[in-house]
Structure 1
Amino acid sequence: MRVEIDESSAAPVYAGLLKAHEEVLAGRFQRDSTAPRALYGDESVTAWSLVSLGVPASEARTWGKINFGELRGEWLTTAKDLAVVCLNPEHPSFVSRNLTRSTRKPQQPATVGRYVAAIRDYHAVARWGGYPASLADWEPDDYEEALVTLERAGAISADRLENLERVPRLLHSLREVIPGAPGRALWASPRLSPFADRLGDRGQRDELKTAPVEPKVYYALLDAALAYVTVFATDIIECIGVASRYKERPSRSAGEPVRSRAARFDAYFTRPTTRIPMHRIPAADASDDVWLSAINWQMVAVQALGEVRSSAYIVASFPAGRARRALALSLARQGRHEIGGLFAPNARLEGRRVPWASGLSPNRLAVEIRMLRSACYIVIAALTMMRDSEVQELRRGCLTSYMGTPAVRSELIKGEDQRPSMHWWISEPVADAVRVLEKISTHPTHLFASSMGGAHNGVGIAANLSLAVFRKRINATIDQTGLAPIPEGHVAPHMLRRTMALLTERERGGQLAARHQLKHAYRASRSNSLTGAYTAQSDIWAGELHERQVEADARDILDELALAPTNRPVGPGASRVKTALRGSGVVLDRKAKARLLAQDFPDLRIGTANVCLGDRSLAACLTVEEREGSVEVRPTACDPTRCANSVLLPRQEPMWLAEEASVASMLAEPRLSPHARASLKSRMEELKMMTRHVK
């Protein structure tokens, strides 16, 4: 039976798990001893602040806030009970209760906040449409109708949909702990829920959701970031030093006389070496207004007075200001101008004749500092597999070594209240990025800090926004910097982590290294499956990785043939390899030859007994119809002695010679049956086809 919710009745049907004065996080480790403790509260308490857990540097200022909003009565009590059980399953008040396995580990405030938001959604629907007054009385049909009602109000994101499905199931699993939870079974899994059609595969936990960055995006992004860290950083850091020499504007009481300032301006405009700093250079026939708007007035004041000061002394409308504007305009139109004015960069990319920027002004410097910081973030996140939270907890002096290998030290945040200090192995570009950050960071302890964001005290950056701004500016300045544009495609910190894990898998010992870097070893129950999911191959990288493998095999072939002058390929396809090698020319280096060989044979692969050139049109393992189609060659059905794709390398020759000797010894046996002797003779003929050029 459906009834309207009576909002005037504020008293809950049952008492909550905790008393109003009890702490929500009692018994749980709380890092910030100065932060206020969250209390369960009565009906008047509709929000909790959990900042005592310690706000990670990667999180926003709103982290740790759980808002119960308009929930009242039993709905509020149910939401609070669910929140406290998920946040603190070892709370002294109910630690002995029968909790499900999924709730035995404390969950993050953001996750619990989404659960509460789902209850608020159901409460709003119940108020609109007259559903059962208690969530405990809802049927599966009620949830389905509620979802339809919510969809009418606006689009529902995939994450929100997942929580709308998960919360009723989670409440039912906690029915022995939370009195207001549904007592009757709803659905056993997302596949059986009313949300199944809308969820699709998202509700399943069998596969990792995180997709890697597309290859073309990944390489362009990383190349741009490395250019900033290894090339542009030198100019940016030097410009920071130049800017720091200009003192801040003095107080009014200590200000110099107006007459003295006027004299300094007059000296500046009459100096023969003066060049007017510009934001851009307008066309020669542009109007005076266009030229005036292109002049960097703040930088004019800096050059004239030697300090950071308002440009009002120049742009103001009083007579002296108008006269100074006229002088600046005259000098600029005469060609006595420069871009920026604070610093002239010298660094340039290899092969470029001009620097990466024509000039830096204070405003441009601030932009480039943010770009350099974002570049350092990309290099570290992409090449270490660190989580966003772990990257942003890097501090000054974090460079160290671990097991004799260069490493960085940071805090493990995810799922760890104690946040232990851990090590991540690094390469030289990552070490360079850390050193750059130590020079440009304005925070006394953390490497990533911004006055515009972060959790507290300017610590942390908005990583997703920084990545988007970095790509946008790279693409807007390619003519100046000489960098390649970064294609469109989604990029997020966790995707960089996933991409590097995928690439590491192909290296020797890759999964062990990935498990250490991903820090799955500390979640032992799922470490193998998690690491395997992160390092699993992806369709969008299949072509790229195949090309890399073919080039590696081509280099391997060239290396082996170069070991001795007598080394040469043999077999039915040997002549094609020799032709390709001769065609590449001796003037090319090993890498270029390998690339050309890989282009001639894009499906080349090295096997145990032979090399397959992978040409489908000549493959003996395929039928005529299969050769004309798109069927790949079948290595397991290979006949090396007859296929035109088959080639022997010197390392594979001993195997064939050994088999030939073995067959010869068996043929010498006088007691062989006619059938066995005929079979061995046939095999000997095949072997001689391969070995006749070896001996």
Structure 2
Amino acid sequence: MTTALATAAAFDGRSAIFAGADVCREAGFLLPEGTQRPLFEDDTWDFTDVVGLPVQLALCTRRFNFTAITDTRWRLVAKELVLALFAPRHPAVAPLPRAHRTALHLRSCAGRLDELTRLFAWLDKQAIGSLQQISTQICEAYMAHRRYVLDENGTVVGEQSPATRRAAAQVVVDLVNYGDLFTADRVPGALRPWGGATASAVAEMPSGRTENKTPPVEDSVLQPLLAAALYVVSALGPHAVKLDREVRENDSSISCKTAGLRHGGPDFADEIVKLLAEYTRTCTPLPMLAENYADDRRADGWSADDPLLPVATGVLARQAGFSQFWSRWFPALRGPLESAVASVGVEKMFARQASEVTTADGASSLSWTLPLHRFQAVALVGIVRTAVIIVLAAVSGMRASELMELRVGCRRPPEESVPGLTRYRVASKVVKGQPLGGTDDEWVVIEPVYHAISFAEQLHDDPHDGSLLFGRFAFGVRYKWFKNWVNSEAGQRLGLAPIPNGPVNLRMLRRTLALELAYRPGGVLASKIHLKHVVVATTEGYASRPGGAQAELLAEVNKHESDRNLNLVLAEFRNYQQGILPAGPGARSLTEFFASIDEKLDPAAALAPKTQRSDRDVLNLLTKRAKVLHLGPANYCWFTDPSRALCLKLAGTPTADRPLVGMCDSARCPQATHHPCHRPVWAEHADRTETFIGQLGTTRKTERTRLQADYDRALRVVTEIDAARTTMNEDSA
């Protein structure tokens, strides 16, 4: 206490360690020449112009405001702690035994400052005037305060997330670990809150070895969402580019700020009458006023039956060379205006002659949009930009930070290494886990993604190379607008399926892609694009830059694929135990394998008292077979022996280490099996083939023979699946 009093007495408002320090220089941040550099004594540290900050980082996170901490001593503590987190190699920070050894990210330090502000505000409410008064009990009380969510009456209505609890515990731990740095106030030196446990342990954070908590997008939401986004980009994208150009040209010619506009003059009536005559001669409708401005006119006393109520007279005035249409002009121009309205009518200004497109359901062709007001045209262009973002996120697997780093000109020239085989690449930056400024990287993408970026570049406000393609955006807001548009009359008019309610964000889209690649060779994504193309493109991305962003996605895909294979093998083993046998050329080999596993699980046949009964023990026995499982759209491939793989023989690559599932003839391959889950595919194929045969003319004997053989094969596979499902049960009976 004597030391604390002496320190307080000597305190003059300046830091004993960081006084006069240049914050950016200490933290290693680069600033452009001429930019004002934040000093330690400043109550606001502005990092907005720091070179290399990720685009995703919000402006509010780049400004550290210490004024929210009212106590000047605690404000100094906060500054010293934040700068110490920025500069772990500072001579005064490095010797601290429990200090961080790597600099924290700007976003992390902003979070620490926010939590420090909350802690100091809470201490003030508890009438605690010095950090010396903090005890273990006070630390526990603060954690209890931050653990629960309270309503306006102070009633507990929920519990905060582990991340929130960890942040609360971490600032207390930091005050202990960095206590020797603080000039004005510090916690007791002997304080060890929570017995010295880490903040993660105090917050009961998951270990990280559990399942990824980010769920995939529900199939019922993903299907119409992806279908709508792909349709908007491919069908409406070119027309949206023309619409955007039309809006820009209109803004530059009839804007209120257009140079040369006059406020009035004696010839105003002649000029506007001449303009109305041109409208009448070309049979062009007069521009329509937006509904909100029409409401303003009604509120000012205009009659609802006035034929001039919907006319955008201000637009007419600017087209005639005047800054606005003055109310005193109406007596002289009402007659010509009413005559023009009666002759050509009034219509919204944009997309009056919209091109026709085929609706999403293929039922008809109609204009891609109805006439639009300016704000509606701008909103529709924004819908197309959002569709581009959805396609990029859902099909490429790029993170939000990587999407925001895309710039105009990011598309690399297409590469055609083999005639007819074109590869498309997109350049961006990897931000997560990288030093300040990120790391340049490239993504191999499919053609729809490549062309979607092209439309985004054409819709850009300033499309010069190097400018941010999207910049920082709030996907949640954009997705809400997109869903509302799809579900509105405009989207339904184009035949788009409504998007049901359900959570969608960029993390969920990335995880959905990983699961689709791992679990479903013919799944939801394949309904609009060929999934095998996604697999090929992204796999080349993994191979082209090991350790890059796509390699991280590959690691996630491989993990999901391993889990999927284990679960599928276990499910088929359980089916075997219940008498549901596999069919196909490889059925005998798989059945013998299951029989050997089943024998090991038989307690009577066990050589030792220990028996394997749990799913985990069974999975251990099935793991080796799960590693050779590959999914086809209508069969399982057990790739145990490459020399026996029919697909490799047909392709002339007998030494390959993976099957060519796209070339699989599972009715003849000795390593292929059919299961009840494949029956609908074969049955549907048989039905369609039978329909085609019935539609062939009598002269088309060659086609009939080929289709008949295909039909007989499909029917044979269906019969074998049905027979295998009942054989064991009949034998048992």
Match of residue 143, structure 1, among 140, 143, 151: 140
Counterpart in 2 of 1:18? 18
Match of residue 48, structure 1, among 32, 40, 45: 45
**Which amino acid letter does the alignment assign opposite residue 111 of structure 1?**
S
Counterpart in 2 of 1:267? 277
CA contact (8 A) 1:10 1:72 kept: no
Quick check: 440-449 or 465-474, which moved more? 440-449
Residue 295 (structure 2) pairs with residue 289 (structure 1): no
Q: Deviations along 1:103-140, whole A, 9 cap, x unmatched?
A: 43433322221211111111111111224720783315
Residue 218 (structure 2) pairs with residue 240 (structure 1): no
Helix, strand or coil: the match of 2:426?
A: strand
**1:519–1:147 CA distance, 2 compared to 1 (3 A):** farther
Counterpart in 1 of 2:376? 364
**1:428–1:512 CA distance, 2 compared to 1 (3 A):** closer
Residue 447 (structure 2) pairs with residue 428 (structure 1): yes
CA apart distance, 1:70: 1.8
CA apart distance, 1:573: 13
Counterpart in 2 of 1:560? 665
Distance in 2 (alpha carbons) for counterparts of 1:399 and 1:140: 58
Q: Deviations along 1:157-187, whole A, 9 cap, x unmatched?
A: 6454442133224444556766836753323
CA apart distance, 1:408: 0.8
Q: Deviations along 1:527-583, whole A, 9 cap, x unmatched?
A: 998777788989xxx9xxx9x96854399899737889xxx9999999999977655
TM-score by length of structure 1 reads 0.66
Q: Deviations along 1:187-218, whole A, 9 cap, x unmatched?
A: 3256753x55xxxx678685544332222222
Give the CA RMSD over aligned residues. Answer: 5.4
**1:152–1:427 CA distance, 2 compared to 1 (3 A):** closer
CA apart distance, 1:84: 2.0
Quick check: 257-266 or 88-97, which moved more? 88-97
CA contact (8 A) 1:345 1:358 kept: yes
CA apart distance, 1:36: 2.7
Helix, strand or coil: the match of 2:441?
A: strand
Quick check: 251-260 or 365-374, which moved more? 251-260
TM-score by length of structure 2 reads 0.63
CA contact (8 A) 1:278 1:340 kept: yes
Q: Deviations along 1:258-280, whole A, 9 cap, x unmatched?
A: 24422333304533623345589
**1:485–1:576 CA distance, 2 compared to 1 (3 A):** closer
**Which amino acid letter does the alignment assign opposite residue 491 of structure 2?**
I
Counterpart in 2 of 1:113? 110
Distance in 2 (alpha carbons) for counterparts of 1:164 and 1:563: 63
**1:298–1:138 CA distance, 2 compared to 1 (3 A):** farther
Distance in 1 (alpha carbons) for counterparts of 2:386 and 2:555: 32
Where does structure 1 lack aligned partners over 5 or more consecutive residues? 2-7, 282-286, 451-458, 622-640, 645-695
**1:207–1:65 CA distance, 2 compared to 1 (3 A):** farther
**1:390–1:245 CA distance, 2 compared to 1 (3 A):** same
Counterpart in 2 of 1:587? 691
Residue 55 (structure 2) pairs with residue 57 (structure 1): yes
**Which amino acid letter does the alignment assign opposite residue 223 of structure 1?**
A
Counterpart in 2 of 1:305? 319
CA contact (8 A) 1:217 1:487 kept: yes
Counterpart in 2 of 1:469? 481
Distance in 2 (alpha carbons) for counterparts of 1:395 and 1:203: 37
Residue 331 (structure 2) pairs with residue 319 (structure 1): yes
Distance in 2 (alpha carbons) for counterparts of 1:519 and 1:185: 46
Counterpart in 2 of 1:217? 221
**1:209–1:72 CA distance, 2 compared to 1 (3 A):** farther
Counterpart in 2 of 1:417? 436
CA contact (8 A) 2:23 2:39 kept: yes
Helix, strand or coil: the match of 1:51?
A: coil
> Where does 1:560-579 land on structure 2 (aligned, <5 Å)?
560=665
CA apart distance, 1:82: 2.9
Helix, strand or coil: the match of 2:424?
A: strand
> Where does 1:468-487 land on structure 2 (aligned, <5 Å)?
468-476=480-488, 477-487=490-500
Helix, strand or coil: the match of 1:472?
A: helix
**1:207–1:254 CA distance, 2 compared to 1 (3 A):** same
Q: Deviations along 1:305-361, whole A, 9 cap, x unmatched?
A: 388x86x538877324544553455347xxx45554454221423333212312244
Counterpart in 2 of 1:85? 84
Distance in 2 (alpha carbons) for counterparts of 1:176 and 1:237: 61
Residue 167 (structure 2) pairs with residue 163 (structure 1): yes
Q: Deviations along 1:47-103, whole A, 9 cap, x unmatched?
A: 211224334333433241122222534422332233223333344653454455xx4
**Which amino acid letter does the alignment assign opposite residue 193 of structure 2?**
L
CA contact (8 A) 1:475 1:486 kept: yes
Counterpart in 2 of 1:441? 460
CA contact (8 A) 1:25 1:88 kept: no
CA contact (8 A) 1:503 1:535 kept: no
Counterpart in 1 of 2:504? 491
CA contact (8 A) 2:269 2:332 kept: no
CA contact (8 A) 2:214 2:507 kept: yes
Q: Deviations along 1:144-168, whole A, 9 cap, x unmatched?
A: 3564388558688645444213322
Counterpart in 2 of 1:656? none
CA contact (8 A) 2:486 2:496 kept: yes
Counterpart in 1 of 2:193? 186
CA apart distance, 1:406: 1.8
**Which amino acid letter does the alignment assign opposite residue 330 of structure 1?**
A
Q: How many residues align structurally?
A: 569
CA apart distance, 1:367: 1.4
CA contact (8 A) 2:230 2:387 kept: yes
CA apart distance, 1:468: 2.2
CA apart distance, 1:423: 0.7
**1:436–1:191 CA distance, 2 compared to 1 (3 A):** closer
CA apart distance, 1:505: 3.2
Counterpart in 1 of 2:424? 406
CA apart distance, 1:431: 0.7
Distance in 2 (alpha carbons) for counterparts of 1:530 and 1:185: 39
**Which amino acid letter does the alignment assign opposite residue 553 of structure 1?**
N
CA apart distance, 1:490: 1.9
Counterpart in 2 of 1:346? 355
Q: Deviations along 1:470-502, whole A, 9 cap, x unmatched?
A: 222222222333222222122222322222223
**1:342–1:74 CA distance, 2 compared to 1 (3 A):** same
Counterpart in 2 of 1:675? none
Distance in 2 (alpha carbons) for counterparts of 1:571 and 1:341: 56
CA contact (8 A) 2:55 2:472 kept: yes
Question: Equivalent pairs: percent with the same residue?
Answer: 18
